[in-house]
Amino acid sequence: MTSGSALPAAQAVLFDRDGTLVVDVPYNGDPELVRPVDGAREALDRLRAAGVSTALVSNQSGIARGLLTRAEVDAVNARLQDLVGPLGPVFVCEHGPDDGCACRKPAPGMVLEAAAALGVAPERCTVVGDIGADVGAARAAGARAVLVPTPVTRAEEVEQARAAGVPVVADLRRAVDLVLGAEALRDATAPRRSR
């Protein structure tokens, strides 16, 4: 599923939450339902070990819809960090799709805020997400993007990402390979030999 080559060195990786770092439970306000996706802890550990800053940028329209409170979202985010380690600054858009805010992805607001909080230029940030809105927010902010599709990712989102030169990879491990360099990407995509 890999397309594209290694990205120039990133100083920060900004992660989407639902579907990217955790198995998506729509409008989840229960920390007990938080399940990291396969490889999430390892991916974050590799970035931390390499000195790459991280942050979370998450649309949570359930707050605007009255389905969640901000306290519940914060509790879910805290549980995620218990399971995968520190994520760095956390940015949440509480608005609904029709609110016209500057923060809800695909608008660039949270990406720009996260870059500023980390002291990193947006163009040295990579946004990792599972849907077109994540890619759109990255591109609108001048950051790079990596798309890690899930069953809810629409085919046209994958096609649009590829057409824009955005790498599309199978999992978080491969996304981090891209962020950390070409050698790791070659290792990740090389055919495995049986022993």
Digit-coded pLDDT (tens) for 96-132: 999 999 999 999 999 999 999 999 999 999 999 999 9
Q: Is 95 annotated as a binding residue?
A: yes
Mean pLDDT of 127-151: 97
Query: What is the rounded average pLDDT of the residues 19-27?
Result: 97
Amino acid at 106: P
CATH number at residue 18: 3.40.50.1000
Choice between 7 and 34, residue whose per-residue pLDDT is larger: 34
**Which whole-number Å values give the CA distances from 24 to 37, 38, 151, in the listed order?**
9, 13, 10
Q: Residue 189: pLDDT above 80? A: no
% residues pLDDT > 70 (the chain): 88
For residue 151, report the phi and psi dihedrals to the nearest 5 degrees: -60, -20
Q: Is 127 a member of any domain? A: yes
- Residue 185 scores a pLDDT above 80: no
Q: What is the mean pLDDT of residues 33-57?
A: 97
pLDDT higher than threshold 70 for residue 153: yes
* Distant-in-sequence, close-in-space partners of 155: CB < 8 Å, separation ≥ 6: none
| Residues 29 and 158: beta-carbon distance below 8 Å | no
Q: Which of 59, 55, 60 is nearest to 114 (CA)?
A: 55
In a domain, 192, yes or no: no
Is 125 one of the annotated binding-site residues? no
Return the CA Rg of the chain: 16
Residue 37 lies in a domain: yes
- Tokens 């599972």 belong to residue: 130
Name the active-site residue from 18, 24, 99, 134: 18
Written as one letter, the residue type at 162 is R
Residue type, 169: V
Q: What is the SS3 string spanning 150-173?
A: CCCCCHHHHHHHHHCCCCECCCHH
- Establish whether 187 is a catalytic residue: no
Position 41 in a domain = yes
Q: The whole model's pTM is what?
A: 0.88
Cβ atoms of residues 14 and 125 within 8 Å: yes
Query: Would you say 187 is a known binding-site residue?
Result: no
Please give the tally of structural domains in the chain: 1
Confidence check: pLDDT of 195 > 80: no
pLDDT: is 10 or 81 the higher one? 81
Residue 2, domain member (yes or no): no
Q: Is 130 annotated as a binding residue?
A: yes
Structure tokens at 189: 């995509």
Which range among 78-87, 107-116, 145-154, 180-189 shows the weakest confidence by mean pLDDT? Answer: 180-189
Q: Is residue 6 part of a domain?
A: no
- Does any domain span residue 34? yes
Examine residue 194 and state whether it is found in any structural domain, yes or no.
no
Q: How confident is the model at residue 7 (pLDDT cuts 50, 70, 90)?
A: low
What is the Cα 164 distance to its own chain's centre? 18
Residue 38 assigned as binding residue: no
Instruction: Write down the residue that tokens 């940030």 correspond to.
Output: 125
**Among 16, 24, 82, 187, the one annotated catalytic:** 16
Q: How confident is the model at residue 169 (pLDDT cuts 50, 70, 90)?
A: very high
Residue 31: is the preceding peptide bond cis (ω within 30°)? no
Residue 82 annotated in active site: no
3-state class of 49 per DSSP? helix
Domain range for 20: 12-186
Q: Whole-angstrom Cα distance, residue 27 to residue 67?
A: 7
